[in-house]
Amino acid sequence: MIECIYTNPPCFSQTIKKEKAFEIDILGVEGRKNLQKANDELGLALDEADFDYYYDFFLNKIQKNPTDVELFDLAQSNSEHSRHWFFRGELYVNGEKRPESLFKSIQDTQKYSNKNNVIAFCDNSSAITGFESEYLVSTNPTKTAALSKKSLKRHIIYTAETHNFPTGVCPFPGAATGTGGRIRDVHATGRGAHEIAGIAGYSIGNLNLNNYPQSYEPKWDYPNNFATPAKILIEASNGASDYGNKFGEPVIAGFTRSFGMQLPNSKRYEYVKPIMFSAGIGSIDSNSIKKAEAKKGQLVAKVGGPVYRIGVGGGAASSVQVQGDQKNELDFGAVQRGDPEMEQKLHRVIRGCIELGDKNPILSIHDQGAGGNGNVLKEIVEGKNGGAIIKADTFDLGDPTVSIRELWGAEYQESDAILIDPLLVDELKSISSREKCRVNIVGEVTGDNRIIVKNYINELPEHPVDLDLTKLSERESKVFHLRSDVINALSLELPPTLTVKEALNQVLRLPTVGSKRYLTNKVDRSVTGLIAQQQCVGPLHTPVADDVKCSGNWMWAAKVDGEGGKLVQACDAMCTVMKTLGIAVDGGKDSLSMAARCKNNEIICSPGTLVVSTYAPCTDIQKVVTPDFKIPDEAPTVIVYVSMANPRQRYRLGGSALAQCYSQLGNEFPDMDSPEYFKKAFNVVQKIIQEELIFSGHDVSDGGIITALLEMAFAGNCEIHASITSQAGTLETLFAEELGIILEVSHKNLGHLLAICDENDILVQKIGEVVQIYGKDASIIINVNGNCVIDCSLNELRNIWEETSDRLELLQTAENCVKTQIEWRSKVCITNYVASFDFNIDNNFLTKSPKIAILREEGSNGDREMAAAFISVGFEAFDITMTDLANDGNFDQFRGIAFVGGFSFADVLGSAKGWAATINFNEKICKMFETFKNRKDTFSLGICNGCQLMALINWIGDSNVSKGKVFLDDNDCGRFHSGFCSVKIQKSPAIMLQGMEDSILGVWTSHGEGKFTYDSAETEQYLEKQNLRCIRYCDNSGHLTNLYPANPNGSSSAVAGICSSDGRHLAMMPHPDRSFLTWQWPNYPKALKLSHSNFTPWIKMFKNAYEWCIEGRQ
């Protein structure tokens, strides 16, 4: 029950009136004036070219007065945000016409690379040739059915976009919907595709954190309608993380940059309008690549959430040349709201349709974004035989007062438009019903190339939209006259007495350089079980990993005077380098309104930014080089530096983190002096990796070579002795951000590595050694040209590097947990995992296939990895939803139930409470569960959300532990936590843990409510006495711990799992389903590696269940 105090007399009558559509009189004598009025009042953001075009279009070309719905539609769907006029336009730079558009220049890079694109520049994502492999698919996604291995060829897809304007205005929902929109871009590729993992990037202004002043962060004015940089960084990352966590998408890479500076021309550049970058990797079946063309008779459907008055005018609002030039209410009204639970249901519908194979009802699919229905429904029916009649009354309305303009233009989220085969409508509806996702058949393709919208019943005009798609497509390119401001860069002037230690004290605190733990801790990095490498490496899970086709995303204030020419120069430089390297761009997007007006009316441009993302097929996911010093048995190991820019090493400090810390740019900047040399050096490094000559590697980037060395030492938690010889000064040598790579190699392989580099004329230097001294005992010793410039403890420098992250953690995490995390970092050493049992799987032994129900509810997201674990040991796994059970399903044929992880019902009112209610308050279903539980030949496993459910429905403990006596409470840290922890297996009756007692194993944890809590001390003591608390968190030495983050939730006595008294039912918060393969671990120890298997000791759990079923033990 929810209770609420009403402080005023309640009124439940509807006060908002549904607005009627109306015409704008353009044909009359005051046509231009009326169009301008509509532009202002509706927030259309038409520039001069748009205004002239639409006035002429309606006055002369089609000779009709537009409705407000049509004008609003065209302003969104033909905005810069949607149509990329600048990149496709005719450009004059400093008075000289550019020979081709920027888009054409970028496309031309394709001519210089391998022809491995299967999709490029023509869909919601790009794709390159993938592999034939085995995948788990449902044998019938319309109902309860077995999951089976199927050999399929799937190609690799990638997409990237930004959500800058809404993130600046409302950071949490802005970033959340940026993530959601990008996920839909992935699954709306071809005839439907599969999402795998996400990437997130944030560029913000100066943080100016309270009680943490930095000399390079002046206090300046910011716009009223934008959040502050610190608020954007915390809340935007919360929004993106929360959406991905609840959807079930791991975020495995990213970037963070902070910049604000007044340049020598007195112009302030700062990410006042931030960058929220979201990218995603996925896969697409080879038979789903090509969308079908629209043809008469095909049906138009909307799948996903209902229509709300949300995100109205986002396409136009985000295209305004200078943010802050509109009314605040228009800006806030343009921000969308996210619903990851609905997105997950929508994604499952798409996946179900794909898994129907040749009977996939989806002929074409587009996700709804900028412009709402007006954009996506025109896109889905465009083509020579396209056009459609759309009926407003067929849409599900979340708000009955939504006007026809809002229905057609609102950017409400979690919605796709699809073209479907009329003969396969039933299949689509069956899948959608099973996944509790709405499907509306909203129209039919007419073949006349007109888009007509029929108004709500009894409302006029009858057709608020009636447009000829052919005539709309005839618009000519826009013309842009640009110039490029020249910044007279000044030489860098650093304090003459500046020491390396003082410089590090500044550089390591810069948000661009420092630790990103405050970001990685709160985002799921293991969900799906498909992740072979993520950001965090080494014993402290330090976030430093950064690892071919490319995606190019441009964020620029291109239409502000003096800025557009710079973008053209940057694009030309990128294209030249790409062609030389033999790499092509195959997609990307742009955001060209990166400027904001501050309170003092000053226009602040964000620094022009290009994000290049590379993606490539990987033939062996276990050949991964990570940026943490390893120091294997052959210690000490050798550190070498490979120059990637030039055979003659240079040391340019311009644009460096060090320069930024002293509020300067400098005038000599690192460059790829020789792309040909870079290409050769890259191939040499690939050869070195292929021959397995190195243990670790890291690029030299922000903060220079000294930061790269420190990050590898921080991650490896070890001592290093570096000695660098240079022709430059000490600061230039250590802090210049020239292109280079640091490698760790054994003494035995050093000669061979140096010989390979010498044979190819690649500059390489031995610069130090890694020493087998760890943690609090480790030191960092660095010499330059024979002079010792750093001799500090590892912990001292790491604490500086982590401090900005710790300060940001205090804005989102309980203070005591931030303190214990600092304490934990100072004490951690290498974990000695223990598994003194056989965990090999003999496939010849797997002669029978007991059946297990992989049970999920809406919002669950851990089902496929759970199924994979059980299938690996011989089970036949069935995909079952709670909807199936409500529709006369049962558990009669099953020996086991696996309650999967995720966020059932988005954890509304608490974790798993909605799921438990669907069981406890349905007499038939409740009886079904009790019957299964009490059968002596059955077992169950609940992980994460499944564990929370088992506690709520009283499946752990025994009759002495009644309902409500054990439950899972909020983590002590106050938020979702993701990490790789160590656990110790206790002696217990749990059938799945037999033979594993006293093992110490690494395992993924990802939850927000994982603290085992009891109604009384007596209940806790009883569970302890009966040995039912069977899995516990431990530290690196194997001692049970309550210290965060080794204990991620604060459970007393370090409890991570509890079983029933007869051992048949096991509930645990950690994820063995994401940890049973060696490559799923961040750093799998060689001591546990089986020579002929990729299984980890966790497979023993699932094997135990199989053997228990086969032997018929009760």
Does the pLDDT at position 364 exceed 80? yes
Distance, CA of 370 to CA of 512 (rounded, Å): 31
Average model confidence (pLDDT) across the chain? 93
Tokens of 195: 């999402």
| Residue of 367, 907, 1073, 1109 with catalytic role | 1073
Stronger pLDDT, 641 or 600, i.e. the higher one: 641
- Tell me the CB-side half-sphere exposure of residue 195, using CA atoms within 13 A: 33
pLDDT tens figures, 115-137: 999 999 988 899 999 999 999 99
878 Cβ contact list (under 8 Å, min separation 6): 144, 145, 146, 147, 851, 852, 853, 854, 894
Stronger pLDDT, 47 or 793, i.e. the higher one: 793
311 Cβ contact list (under 8 Å, min separation 6): 177, 334, 335, 336, 337, 372, 410, 411, 412, 413
Does the pLDDT at position 333 exceed 80? no
Tokens of 850: 């007991």
Q: What is the pLDDT of residue 328?
A: 62
pLDDT tens figures, 1045-1056: 999 999 999 999
Distance, CA of 610 to CA of 602 (rounded, Å): 24
Q: Is 84 designated active site? A: no
* DSSP-assigned beta bridge partners for residue 1066: 941, 1059
| Helix (H/G/I), strand (E/B), else coil: 496 | coil
Exposure string over 421-452, b if 16+ CB within 10 A, otherwise e: beebeebbeebbebbbbbbbbbbbbbbbbbbb
Residue count of the chain: 1114
Q: What is the location of CATH 3.90.650.10 in the chain?
A: 1-77+291-475, 500-514+530-547+625-812
Phi, psi angle pair for 661, to nearest 5°: -65, -20
* DSSP string over 1009-1030: S-EEEES-HHHHHHHHHTT-EE
When pLDDT is averaged across residues 852-865 and rounded to a whole number, the result is 97
DSSP one-letter code for 1061: T
Exposure string over 46-80, b if 16+ CB within 10 A, otherwise e: bbeebeebbbebbbeeeeebbbbbbbbbbbbbbbb
pLDDT tens figures, 385-407: 999 999 999 999 999 999 999 99
* DSSP-assigned beta bridge partners for residue 792: 780
pLDDT tens figures, 610-620: 999 999 888 88
Distance, CA of 458 to CA of 1084 (rounded, Å): 67
526 Cβ contact list (under 8 Å, min separation 6): 250, 534, 978, 980, 1004, 1006, 1071, 1074, 1075, 1080
Distance, CA of 370 to CA of 311 (rounded, Å): 9
Q: What is the pLDDT of residue 45?
A: 85
Q: What is the location of CATH 3.40.50.880 in the chain?
A: 843-1111
Distance, CA of 127 to CA of 578 (rounded, Å): 18
Q: What is the pLDDT of residue 1?
A: 44
Q: Are 1101 and 995 in contact (CB under 8 A)?
A: no
When pLDDT is averaged across residues 438-451 and rounded to a whole number, the result is 97
Does the pLDDT at position 323 exceed 60? no
pLDDT tens figures, 961-987: 777 799 999 999 999 999 999 999 999
Distance, CA of 1025 to CA of 1040 (rounded, Å): 17
- Of the CATH numbers 3.40.1190.20, 3.90.650.10, 3.20.20.140, 3.30.390.50, which one belongs to the domain with range 500-514+530-547+625-812? 3.90.650.10
| Helix (H/G/I), strand (E/B), else coil: 522 | coil
Q: Is 347 designated active site? A: no
**Distances in whole angstroms, Cα of residue 916 to Cα of each of 6, 931, 941, 954:** 30, 16, 16, 10
* Highest mean pLDDT, choosing among 14-23, 821-830, 1088-1097: 821-830
Tell me which residue of 216, 366, 396, 384 sits closest to 291, measured CA to CA: 366
pLDDT tens figures, 528-568: 988 888 888 777 766 655 447 899 999 999 999 999 999 99
| Residue of 575, 944, 973, 1059 with catalytic role | 944
Run of H or E including 863: helix 863-872
216 Cβ contact list (under 8 Å, min separation 6): 206, 261, 506, 510, 660, 661, 662, 663
- Tell me the CB-side half-sphere exposure of residue 45, using CA atoms within 13 A: 28
Identity of the amino acid at 633: D
Distance, CA of 188 to CA of 501 (rounded, Å): 51
Tokens of 754: 């140096």
Does the pLDDT at position 701 exceed 70? yes
When pLDDT is averaged across residues 913-934 and rounded to a whole number, the result is 96
* DSSP-assigned beta bridge partners for residue 1014: 966
When pLDDT is averaged across residues 773-786 and rounded to a whole number, the result is 96
| Helix (H/G/I), strand (E/B), else coil: 34 | helix
Q: How far is CA 703 from the centre of its chain?
A: 25
What is the band of 1075 on the pLDDT scale with cuts at 50, 70, 90? Answer: very high
Q: CA geometry: angle at 1008 spanning 171 and 227, to 5°?
A: 10
Q: What is the pLDDT of residue 733?
A: 98
Q: What is the pLDDT of residue 9?
A: 64
Exposure string over 260-297, b if 16+ CB within 10 A, otherwise e: bbebeeeebbbbbbbbbbbbbbbbbbeebbebebbeee
- N- to C-terminal Cα separation, the chain: 40
Assigned superfamily of 843-1111: Class I glutamine amidotransferase (GATase) domain (3.40.50.880)
Q: What is the pLDDT of residue 646?
A: 86
| Residue of 155, 347, 977, 1071 with catalytic role | 1071
What is the band of 679 on the pLDDT scale with cuts at 50, 70, 90? Answer: very high
Q: Is 817 designated active site? A: no
* Alpha-carbon Rg for the chain in angstroms: 30
Q: What is the CATH number of domain 1-77+291-475?
A: 3.90.650.10
Does the pLDDT at position 324 exceed 60? no
Does the pLDDT at position 228 exceed 80? yes
The dihedral sign for the CA sequence 570, 572, 576, 581? positive
Phi-psi region of 14 (alpha: psi -120 to 50; beta: other; left: phi over 0): beta
The class that CATH gives domain 107-288+548-616 is alpha beta
Tokens of 595: 């400027």
What is the band of 58 on the pLDDT scale with cuts at 50, 70, 90? Answer: very high
pLDDT tens figures, 186-198: 999 999 999 999 9
The dihedral sign for the CA sequence 423, 426, 428, 431? negative
What is the band of 846 on the pLDDT scale with cuts at 50, 70, 90? Answer: low
Q: What is the pLDDT of residue 547?
A: 42
| Helix (H/G/I), strand (E/B), else coil: 379 | helix
pLDDT tens figures, 711-721: 999 999 999 99
Q: pLDDT exceeding 90 applies to what percent of the chain?
A: 81
When pLDDT is averaged across residues 884-908 and rounded to a whole number, the result is 96
68-77 and 372-380 helices, crossing angle to 10°: 70
DSSP one-letter code for 713: H
Q: What is the pLDDT of residue 372?
A: 93
* DSSP-assigned beta bridge partners for residue 390: 443, 453
528 Cβ contact list (under 8 Å, min separation 6): 196, 197, 248, 249, 250, 864, 865, 1074
Exposure string over 134-165, b if 16+ CB within 10 A, otherwise e: ebbbbeebbbbbbbeeeebebbbbbbbbbbbb
What is the band of 1030 on the pLDDT scale with cuts at 50, 70, 90? Answer: very high
362 Cβ contact list (under 8 Å, min separation 6): 191, 192, 350, 353, 354, 418, 419, 420, 428
pLDDT tens figures, 734-752: 999 999 999 999 999 999 9
Distance, CA of 880 to CA of 929 (rounded, Å): 14
Cis ω on the peptide bond leading into residue 461 (within 30° of 0)? yes
